Amino acid sequence: MEYTHLGRTGLSVSRLCLGTMNFGPVTTEPDAHAIMDHAHGQGINFFDTANVYGWGENKGLTERIIGSWFATGGGRRERTVLATKLYGDMGEWPNDGKLSALNIRRACDASLQRLQTDYIDLYQMHHVDRATPWDEIWEAMDVLRQQGKILYVGSSNFAGWHIAQGQEAARRRGTLGLVSEQSIYNLVERTVELEVLPAAQHYGLGVIPWSPLHGGLLGGVLRKLEDGTTGRSTTGRAAEAIEEHRPAIEAWEAFCAERGENPGDVALAWLLHQPAVTAPIVGPRTMNQLEGGLRALDITLDEAALARIDEIFPGPGGTAPEAYAW
């Protein structure tokens, strides 16, 4: 396993992050425990979750599954860099979500209880809260750090200027501020290259891409449709997405076939070649899916290969403003 620092911190994390969103809704608790054990066995020490995972009436279920795994002992908690998130409504009352000081305090305590741990390594804001002042957010986060309940703070789904806002507010307070940003980032969705990635690099944030295969589109979906092995729905919006991107996906799968590699592994490898990226999130439903993602660490893409990929999935044309202006 390869390791790197999370942004400008001294915290070492694996180059792949284990996403746990499927634990509970799709993957049973025993299977989830087995996947987490196998991830540790392969050197993955970076796990990501959120308080809302489990969804609907089962919000919090994923954190509870991770907590029951930690409770089995064997150094599982100590070997894990644990990231969770808050923002989504966990109840029906007005202060059961968002980023008020009240909800930050309550949400953290509730996550700690479900996770059966006394601290969270990386506490992430799942979305920007435009209604809450940054000074209130940072004061609440600073209290949690002083209490030893969290170590680092990260963002998710922030625009570049939100990152700048947060960091400048933290600078005024003399605190560390954000150390990571979790964004949707893959070959199909490259909008973050305009301003989010430059902002993250400027302020020293590690970027943690979610949906690295864009819902399976980059994982060999056309080949799987042909041989009947696709494990995802290919109707409705999924079918529309396939048709919208079919020419690029056909070229992509042909390119990967020429290299003798699985398309999903190459898509992850491409992210690992981007300088702002710390660790893409792989969210396996099964043990086999976790095994497949590990291959990406061994794939090297030279300049010619990267240029060919840019031809297939051009992206926004670079960073702003040069991507759209002189």
Enumerate domains of the chain plus CATH numbers: 3-215+263-302 (3.20.20.100)
Told to judge if 123 belongs to the known catalytic residues of this protein, a careful annotator would answer no
The confidence score (pLDDT) of residue 236 equals 58
Alpha helices per DSSP H over 174-236: 196-203, 221-227
- Residue 57, phi-psi category: left (phi > 0), alpha (psi -120 to 50), beta (remainder): alpha
- Rounded CA-CA distance 126/98 in Å is 9
Stated as kind and residue range, the H or E segment containing 210 is strand 206-210
Lowest mean pLDDT among 58-67, 97-106, 256-265, 290-299: 290-299
The pair of structure tokens assigned to 95 is 């202060």
Q: Indicate the residue type of 94.
A: P
Q: Is residue 292 classed as helix, strand or coil in its secondary structure?
A: helix
Most confident stretch, 162-176, 214-228, 235-249: 162-176
Question: Can you tell me the mean pLDDT for 280-289?
Answer: 89
Tokens 């976790």: give the residue: 290
Kindly give, in sequence order, each residue whose CB lies less than 8 Å from that of residue 179, ignoring residues fewer than 6 positions away: 6, 7, 8, 9, 11, 122, 152, 153, 154, 204, 205, 206
Around 90, how many Cα atoms within 13 Å sit in the side-chain half-sphere? 25
Chain centroid to Cα 40, Å, comes to: 18
Question: Can you tell me the mean pLDDT for 259-286?
Answer: 94
The confidence score (pLDDT) of residue 26 equals 94
The confidence score (pLDDT) of residue 218 equals 95
- Rounded CA-CA distance 79/63 in Å is 17
Residue of 53, 123, 152, 185 marked catalytic: 53
Q: 110, 51 in Cβ contact below 8 A?
A: yes
Lowest mean pLDDT among 137-141, 224-228, 250-254, 280-284: 224-228
More confident residue, 213 or 235: 213
The pair of structure tokens assigned to 2 is 């390869």
Q: pLDDT tens digit string along 140-163? A: 999 999 999 999 999 999 999 999
Q: 297, 34 in Cβ contact below 8 A?
A: no
Question: Can you tell me the mean pLDDT for 44-56?
Answer: 97
Q: 180, 207 in Cβ contact below 8 A?
A: yes
Kindly give, in sequence order, each residue whose CB lies less than 8 Å from that of residue 130, ignoring residues fewer than 6 positions away: none
Question: Can you tell me the mean pLDDT for 274-294?
Answer: 89
- Rounded CA-CA distance 78/70 in Å is 9
Q: Structure pTM?
A: 0.94
Inter-CA distances, 177 with 20, 171, 228, Å = 25, 7, 48
pLDDT band at 284 (very low <50, low <70, confident <90, very high): confident
Q: Give percent above pLDDT 70 in the chain.
A: 97
